[in-house]
Chains A and B, each alone.
Chain A
C-alpha cells in the first residue's frame, strides 16, 4: 500500500466526532520510519551546510591543523623523538583536547541547536505543524546530530592519529598500523568518540530544550567533566567522561591529585550510556509534546 493512500485511509478511519479519534490512526512503524528519514534528510543538510556548521568544521579541524604543524615543526622533546612514547602522547592529545574539549563543545553546539536553533530561526513550527509524532521528531533530530558529530569527529580522531604518527615516523607507523596494535587502538578511539557523541549529544539535547540560554549550563557541565578526576567515586559516575575514560585503549594518568576509583568495565559503561541516552530521549519527547511555540523574545 502506498504511503499516501495509507495516510488517506487513516484519515478516513478517523471519526471526527469521536473524542480521541486521532488515536485510532494506524501508528505504523513504516510511516514513522519514512518520517524519520525525511527529518534526517533535512536536518543533516542543516547540520552540514548551514552557517552554524562552520563553527563545527572549525572545532573538528582544529587538531588536524595543530598536529600538522606539530609534524612539520616537531618540538625538541624526548617524547616526540621516541616512537614508543607516541601512544601515550596521542592518548594525552585525544583525552585532553579531542574528547574532553572538542567533542564536548562540538556536541554542545550541534545538539543544543537542534531545537534551540530552530526557535531562534523561527522555523520549528514547520515540524510542529506536520502530522508527525513528537517522539519521531526527537529521534530524527537526535540521529541527525549524531550523524554530523560522528562523521566529523571520527575524521578528527582518525586524521589526527594518522597525522601525528605518519608525520613524524612514517615507516614505523606503517608497521604499527598494518602489523601491530595501531589499527586496534584506532578502532577503540573511534568507538570512544562514537559513544562520546551519543552521551554528550543526549545531555546537550536536553540542555538545549530546558534552557533558553544554554551557555551557562554548558560551561558548568564542562567544569564538571574536567574536574571529574577530583570527585569522589560515587559522583564520578554522574558524568559521561567517567564511562568514556574507562574505555580508552591507553590509560592516562590523571595526575597526583586524582581521586582513584575503580574503572567501570565496558559491559557496564556502554549499556549505561545507551540507557542514559534512551531516558534522555524519552524526557525530551515528553517535553516537546508539551512545548509551546512563541518566538516572542527570542
Chain B
C-alpha cells in the first residue's frame, strides 16, 4: 500500500496540501483536481522531491527519504520537459538506467523494452530535441518504466498525446495495472480519468475532498441530491406534480422547454414516482437519465458544495 498519514505541505505561508490521509491500493488511482489543487505536490511528496511539513508517507513500506530503496520500486514521469542536449531517446533512457547501476548489456535490453512499450522503437535513435511534445512525453514515460518499477507515478501523462497515442498509453496503463502495479496518475481531463481509473482522489485547494472508486465517490454523496433530466412534452405539468414528492429538492425547466431537471435525494423512490406520474399525466417521454453520474459532475458538486470536504 501507499500510505499518507496526516500529511501537510506548506510552501512558506502557502498551502500545498493539508492533512492528507490516504491509502492507495494496486491498480490505477487518479488524482483529480484543477491546477493548484495539490496533485503535483502530492506526487512530489510521494517521491521525496518534496519533504512533508507534517505527517508520514510510506510507499510499499519505504520512506521517500530513502531514495536508494524507493526508486528500485518506483518510477516517476514528471511534467518537466527537459532532456540532455543532443541525446537520442535511447541514449536518454540508457543514461539514467546506468545511474541505477545496470551494466551496458542490461541497460540496452531494458531501454529497448521500454521503448517498445511506448511504441517508440522506430524513433529511438533520433534526437529528442526534434520530437513532438507527444513523443517527448512518451520518452519520459519510457524512462520512468524502464527499470520495471512496482509503483508508477505519472503527472499528466496524456498531455500532448494525439488520440491514438492516448488510447495506446491508456491500454498500457491498464496492462500494467492488471499485472499488479500501482499507477498514480494525475489529470484534469475527467473523461480519461473516468475511462481508465480504478479509483480516484479528488483534490481541491490542497484538500482531499473525496476518494474511492468512481461510483464509490458517487455513493459517498448519496445523501446529497442527484440531478435527473427528463425529456418530455409537458415539463411544467411534470414539475408541479413532482414537487409533491418530499425528496424532490429542485425542479428546473430546460432552456428548450422540452425537458425538466429534477434534483432528488432518493433516486430509487423518485423513479417509482416518475413512472406513476408519467402514466397519470400521459406524458410523451423521450428520455430519462442522470445528468451528473460522471466524475466531472461529482467533482463540480464536491468542490462547490459547502459540505464538499467530506474527508
Contacts and interface: CB of A to CB of B under 8 A. Distances in A.
Contact of B67 (A42, A50, A131, A292): A131
Contacts of B62: 14, 16, 21-22
B43 to A, nearest CB: 11
Nearest to A294: B50
A201 B155 CA distance: 36
A7 B86 CA distance: 30
A181 interface: no
B98 A46 contact: no
A25 B68 contact: yes
B76 interface: yes
Given A42-B95, A131-B67, A2 B72 contact: no
Given A7-B72, A14-B62, A133-B68, A51 B85 contact: yes
A128 B67 contact: yes
Given A17-B61, A42-B95, A131 B80 contact: no
Q: How large is the interface on B (under 10, 10 to 19, 20 to 34, 35 or more residues)?
A: 35 or more
Interface residues of A, number: 50
A290 B240 CA distance: 65
B48 interface: yes
Contacts of A42: 84, 95, 98-99
Interface string B41-73: 000100111110000000011110011111111
B96 interface: yes
A125 B67 contact: no
B99 A130 contact: yes
Interface-centre pick from B51, B68, B103, B106 (highest chain A CB count, 10 A): B68
B139 to A, nearest CB: 12
Given A18-B61, A38-B95, A125 B103 contact: no
A77 interface: no
B103 A3 contact: yes
Given A17-B61, A125-B78, A130 B84 contact: no
Given A16-B60, A128-B48, A49 B67 contact: no
A2 B84 CA distance: 28
Nearest to A52: B85
B254 interface: no
B131 interface: no
Given A129-B76, A292-B50, A294-B50, A7 B66 contact: no
Interface of B: 11, 44, 47-51, 60-63, 66-76, 78, 80-86, 95-96, 98-103, 106, 143-144
Given A20-B63, A132-B67, 8 more contacts: A4-B102, A19-B61, A34-B101, A35-B100, A45-B84, A127-B99, A293-B49, A294-B11
12 contacts: A2-B106, A3-B101, A3-B106, A23-B66, A34-B101, A38-B98, A42-B99, A46-B84, A128-B48, A131-B71, A132-B68, A290-B51
Interface of A: 2-4, 6-7, 10-11, 14-23, 25, 27, 31, 34-35, 37-39, 41-42, 45-46, 49-51, 121-123, 125-134, 290, 292-295
